[in-house]
Amino acid sequence: MSVCRAVHRGLLALLSLSPGCLESLTYECESDAACVFEERQGQCVTPGHCAYSDATCPSMLRFGPAAGSELASMCVDAGQTTGSSESSSTSDCGPCEAVAMDCYDPDAICVDGQCVASPLPTGAPCREDDPCVVMASCDALGACIVDQLVECADPPGPCHESAGTCGVDGVCAYELRSVGTACEDGDGCTLEDACSTTGTCTPGPICASDNPCAAGSCSGSQCSFFPVVDGSGCGPQPQELCCAGVCTDVSMDAQHCGSCEVACLPDQACVAMGETGMCGAVPAVPEVPT
């Protein structure tokens, strides 16, 4: 007896054969119990061959690889019925109720007195009872696998963390950034903006300057800076005055000696005179005894 003829003795022998042998032989079934292929439970349908769940077929069934050269791997016609009333009748296990689980064929069949539902193929869409799940699919073992979650990457403002978490209601929540964190309120004339305790970006002073001798003004959301009036005080000491936008000690600056308008001659120095200065001869450097 050839190896291929051994197929007619049962499905276990069939599973060990080569593809070429499967194409040339026909395995006939008498009940659904005989239609187990690669751990999948099938049905014995007219004219007595095994078929298995396939959502791409109109009948939701496709003949197995050993249903003969004309039927192997073809979709079962919607009008074909089970070929064994003994194993698939409701007398063995009563009416099989529809399966409510997403990743199982809703039409269960009766096998050896029990209702059996087949898992849907890999990639079949399923629904997770979680508002944070955008997409999920079946894994061919009956489990629903999450493929895509809600992406929380759109904070409501500059004082919220850039990455958030999806809550039980499916809405993203974002943590507040620390109070005082630098932010941008969208106005180019407000400088040193900072986050507040309520998560809002509080604007800083308008066109503020670190230079006490320069003042800023806003025009078209852009700051411009210009020198203040010469002679304006700019420091804790009275001799510290603004000269051409720079804070200057007029008691010792030869270019601005006593006031912003006085400059000493090249051979002169600015000599401090109380709270001001006067141009005079360069002090002699005392000789150091040798």
Q: For 18-49, how does the pLDDT look when each residue is reduced to its tens digit (9 = 90+)?
A: 444 444 567 788 887 778 776 678 888 888 88
Q: Among 67, 98, 116, give the residue marking a domain's end.
A: 116
Six token digits for residue 154? 């759109």
Q: Which of 116, 134, 163 is the last residue of a domain?
A: 116
**pLDDT grade, residue 211 (50/70/90)?**
very high
Answer whether residue 249 is part of any domain: yes
Cβ(183)–Cβ(158) under 8 Å?
yes
147 within some domain: no
In this structure, what DSSP letter does residue 63 have? E
pLDDT at res. 155: 95
Let me know if residue 245 belongs to a domain.
Answer: yes
3-state secondary structure of 23: helix
Residue 79 lies in a domain: yes
Going by C-beta distance under 8 Å and a sequence separation of 6 or more, which residues neighbour residue 216?
206, 207, 208, 209, 223, 224, 225
Is 180 a member of any domain? no
Q: Per-residue pLDDT for 13 more than 80?
A: no
Please provide residue 78's backbone torsions phi and psi, each rounded to the nearest 5 degrees: -60, -25
Distance CA 174, CA 63 (A): 53
Are residues 17 and 3 in contact, defined by beta-carbon separation less than 8 angstroms? yes
Q: What is the pLDDT of residues 62-115, one digit of tens each?
A: 888 888 878 888 898 876 655 443 433 334 577 788 888 889 988 888 877 788
Q: Torsion angle, CA of 57/60/66/70, rounded to 10 degrees?
A: -40
- Write the pLDDT tens digit of every residue in 124-135: 999 888 899 999
Q: Count other C-beta atoms under 10 Å from residue 268's C-beta.
A: 15
Residue 221 in domain: no
pLDDT at 79: 67
Domain of 268, in residue numbers: 228-281
Instruction: Say how many domains are in the chain.
Output: 2
Q: Which among 100, 116, 132 is the end of a domain? A: 116
Residue 109 resides in a domain: yes
Is 132 among the domain residues?
Answer: no
